[in-house]
Structure 1
Amino acid sequence: MAETINGSGGSLRNGYFTRTRAGVSLLFFVNGLMMGAWAPKIPFFAKALSLSEANLGVMLFVFGMGSLLLMPIAGLQIARFGSSRVVQMAALLFIPTIVGITLVESLWAGTIAIFLFGGLSGAMDVAMNANAVEVERSMRRSIMSSCHAFWSLGGLVGAATGGLLIAVIGPLAHALLVAGVALILLAIARPMILVDRPHPSERRQRARLPLTPLPWLIGMIALFSMIPEGAILDWGALYLGNELSASTAHSGFAFAAFSLAMAAMRFAGDLVRDRLGAVATLRLCTAASFVGLIVAGQAPNVTLALIGFGIAGIGISNMVPIAFSAGGNIPGLAPGIGLSVVTSLGYSGILFAPSVIGFIAEYTSLSAVYTAVSLLNLVVLALSGLARHADRAGAT
């Protein structure tokens, strides 16, 4: 039976540190795997419901609304029951939804299915980040960046294998296979998950979002860090193809360059943060993001744009993990409550900003958009001192 901690970061065995870190890393991988597997299913989902591009956009908006509505609810439950219980329940409910979105045949069923898929994905996201914060406290070292690297790795596996599997065995068999693998990985992770309990003061907190500005300001760091990520994910290929005359084969390299750099740096990010501290690391990463987006936006050719996107990936890689870690270590606030605010604001950037960017780009250009988006990093730099709360994970 797994040991428990009381939220104060009590001393535990070094071997247990390895198990709990492996457990939470597997949770991140499972969530990323599910999200990666969803990407190649989108065309089949749209075809099954006869959705136009505009209607598919509405459905993706419902996905985002599900995430933003269930994230705060998950945060409140974490404050009551602890992250380990909530993450296991959220994961068990989330995994079957990949099958649900495959079986839908009506518009209403599709709306409900994608709302639950997005909502439970967000709930699991908040809970696994809260559990990672608790593991950081117990280990007295940073692990958040590597956890997010495992999410990126899971997303890469899910996306890279999804199209091939769907073509070979069909959409339903693919969904069942993904759900089965995810359940097996969850079963492996379950005995290794750090079992945490809230402080008594956290149990007494009323079920409402915090009025103190600190979590909202840290959430702004996450928001302005994730908007560029969404801009590159959804518009990078179009930018290379339409404005820099890249071939179809090369147009997908924008996000590839960005994501490979981001994943690699996330595995190294914890070591950098432990050496330099969260504030200095955030400032260096923000500067790299700023430079990379400027280079990409002003690039005269594809090669220089890809270099810019790679530099931006190096920078953005550790900005979000630091913001999440800081949100889970706000003094006097339950980790789940702080994280629900930070994650909700952060993910709103990647979920909704791309649609706004499309509207702006229609009247200007994507080159101008990437150049303008780089300025958001100046806001992050202005708020970077708040990243000091992320260092509480190693100080408690």
Structure 2
Amino acid sequence: MEQAAEVRLAEENNRFKISTNAVAEQIHKQRFFLSVFFFLSGFNFASWASRIPTIKAALDLNEAELGSVLLTMPISSMIGLPLSGWLVTRFDTRVPLTVAFLLNAVSLALIGTATSTLSLIVALFLFSLSTRIFNISMNTQAITLQKLFDRKINGSFHGLWSTGGIVGVGVTTLVISLGISIVPHLATVAVVTILITLFASRFLLRHDRAETRNKQALPKPDSYILYLGLLVFFAAICEGGMFDWSGIYFQKVVQEEVFTAGYLIFMSFMAFSRFVSDRIVERIGMARTYLMSSLCIFFGVTLAIVFPSFWPAMVGFSFVGFGTAAVIPMTYTLAGASEKYSAGVAISLIASFGIVGMLLGPPLIGYLAHAFNLKISFIAFAFAGIMLIPVSRLFFRLAKNQSAL
């Protein structure tokens, strides 16, 4: 009898181990395929952004006209914000994620074939709208998946977005050097995106629909959140503006034929900074990291403006990428320490500042470039970078006073 009981117990233990191993394997598979979509998102965005100089020249747009066209993206993104929030409460997140990636692929192909300003605006509207929808869907999946792990994994997803961006710029650089036009380039990216989406979406997390609909209205931020929001705002102006204008700067000011070089070095150092920023903060502290980031941005932009030739601009853009990357994740960490708001509400409030900065930066540079010139317009980046110093000091002074109460 005892032997029979031991045999049954051993069989149950084996079944439990098999079941546990199967669940663990499933979770890791879901993480892998969600990582594929983060990488693909960065790749697609870089494919579009690094082709902006080509589009500008093909449609004969001046800087102000390009800035006005780029305003399509923040308008579309704002429309997509409540829509995406509704979709992830109405369906499993894999559904809007899949549909949005398919729409993103189609809109990317339309960008490549745009023959008028109107057709480009329509394509950019769809591109930005679909990007907003799958960004919220992907991040919702990431947050849900992280709860199933015993360690933080969310940062790795965003690192893969930057990695995808680097690969996207690299591929575009190769394509341009080979003399391949924008139409087959973006059409190929679109086809690859569709194929990957149809295959990989089957392995994403299921049944993660929220039980209650998230409220979109956010409370008015206090001084603690306001200072953090301003830090993200100024960093996002640099980041968003560099995404869209670094290639044109290399084409028009540096007069480099392979104009994606500036974007590539910026993205590479931004990704590198995101992977090492945690160690930097541990070593020198957050206050000094903000100071370092600010000086890197200011020095990098100034170097590219004063010496608008290839190597000084490359070094300058690398400093800008390194400086901008650490600010937003570091600020989100500080937001979690808010005594007035929960971490989720605080990050949502600060993220709204980031969205405004990221999407207003590109048209702002366009209008300044038209009024003066493109080289002078980059002073806006230097100003935004140096503003991190007084705002961060005000924040840490406020935080110190609050902790003393």
Superposition CA RMSD, Å: 4.5
- In structure 2, the partner of 1:313 is 321
- In structure 2, the partner of 1:376 is 387
Give the structure with higher Rg (CA): 2
- In structure 1, the partner of 2:297 is 293
- In structure 1, the partner of 2:355 is 344
Structure 1 unaligned residues grouped into runs of 5+: 1-11, 388-396
Q: Return the structure number with greater relative CO, CA threshold 8 A, min gap 6.
A: 1
Contact 2:104 2:131 in 1 (8 A): yes
- In structure 2, the partner of 1:227 is 237
Matched, 1:147 2:157: yes
2:102 pairs with one of 74, 92, 99: 92
Matched, 1:122 2:126: no
- In structure 2, the partner of 1:176 is 187
Give the counterpart letter for 2:269 in structure 1: A
Q: CA deviation at 1:309?
A: 4.3
Matched, 1:186 2:197: yes
Q: What secondary structure does 2:80 align onto?
A: helix
**TM-score (ref. length: structure 2):** 0.70
What CA distance in whole angstroms lies between the structure 2 residues aligned with 1:192 and 1:285?
39
User: Alpha-carbon deviations, 1:157-203, whole Å to 9, x = none?
Assistant: 33332365476665443333211211233244324433363554xx1
Equivalences, count: 367
1:209 pairs with one of 212, 217, 221: 217
User: Alpha-carbon deviations, 1:40-94, whole Å to 9, x = none?
Assistant: 5445545665655543332222233222321342134334445433322321222
User: Alpha-carbon deviations, 1:336-379, whole Å to 9, x = none?
Assistant: 97697366335325444433654786599468544422233233
Once the two structures are overlaid, the 10-residue window that deviates more, 125-134 or 114-123, is: 125-134
- In structure 2, the partner of 1:101 is 111
Q: What secondary structure does 2:148 align onto?
A: helix
What CA distance in whole angstroms lies between the structure 1 residues aligned with 2:92 and 2:335?
16
Q: CA deviation at 1:292?
A: 0.6
What CA distance in whole angstroms lies between the structure 2 residues aligned with 1:46 and 1:247?
15
Give the counterpart letter for 1:314 in structure 2: F
- In structure 1, the partner of 2:40 is 30
What CA distance in whole angstroms lies between the structure 2 residues aligned with 1:251 and 1:322?
31
**TM-score (ref. length: structure 1):** 0.71
Contact 2:68 2:363 in 1 (8 A): no
Q: CA deviation at 1:290?
A: 1.0
- In structure 2, the partner of 1:59 is 69
User: Alpha-carbon deviations, 1:275-316, whole Å to 9, x = none?
Assistant: 959xx9765542321121233355476767755543443342
Identity rate of aligned residues, in percent? 22
What CA distance in whole angstroms lies between the structure 2 residues aligned with 1:356 and 1:177?
33
What CA distance in whole angstroms lies between the structure 1 residues aligned with 2:196 and 2:244?
29
Call closer, same or farther: CA 1:234–1:102 in 2, change over 3 Å: closer
What CA distance in whole angstroms lies between the structure 2 residues aligned with 1:185 and 1:384?
45
